[in-house]
Amino acid sequence: MNTNWAEDNLSLIRTLMERASIYRRALAPIMIAAGVIGTTAAVAGLSLRLDAPSQFLACWIGAAVVALLSAFALARREAIRLREAFWSPPARRVGLALLPVAVAGVIAAFVESDPARLAGWWLLIYGVGLHGAGFFMPGGVRRLSWFFVAAGGVALGWGACSPHVIMGLGFGGLHLAYGIYLYTTRSRPISL
């Protein structure tokens, strides 16, 4: 066995463990922002009656872009505040773990013409990707991923609901609930 390989892997594991609390701290505002964006997109989609497949896609792709840019800005701000590299090896691993999911979501948008079913597929695909990325993040992310998988499965099996409601409850509600959970349970420094 190559000792350098073992040392590199141990260093990576140590870095991931040390940054788990940092990721958890940065994850709360990211999840809350994603939840607010998802809920807002659902309300806008319902209010403006964006029910045609092209309108549904435009609404939710726009929401995804805003959510990604918000997540990037919040994570970057946290990295600057902590004087750490933003695009660190652990961040690259999370990004690479999510890349196939993004591609699968785009493929689903081209293949599925029914917006309600597409919403179910997106929730399911996102849940699977979140589970994969969760191995580099706090354990709660993997548990959250199962809620997305379940929501996607229910949406695909049921499908009688508005796709904006499915997306609002899924992407908006689940992100918002998890962000609030992270925020309210974060460890606070001990004061003497």
Q: What is the pLDDT of residues 95-147, one digit of tens each?
A: 888 899 999 999 999 999 999 999 999 999 999 999 988 877 767 889 999 99
Separation CA 6–CA 14 (nearest Å) = 12
pLDDT given for residue 192 in this prediction: 37
Tokens in use for 86? 């933003």
C-beta separation of 134 from 101 below 8 A? no
Global pTM? Answer: 0.84
Q: How far apart are CA 66 and CA 89, in angstroms?
A: 25
Lowest mean pLDDT among 17-21, 77-81, 147-151, 161-165: 17-21
pLDDT at 186: 74
User: What is the reported pLDDT for 187?
Assistant: 63
pLDDT of 13-51, one tens digit each? 656 555 554 555 678 999 999 999 999 999 999 999 999
Report d(CA 138, CA 118) in Å as an integer.
29
Q: How confident is the model at residue 3 (pLDDT cuts 50, 70, 90)?
A: low
Task: Kindly calculate the radius of gyration of the chain based on its CA atoms and give it in whole angstroms.
Answer: 18
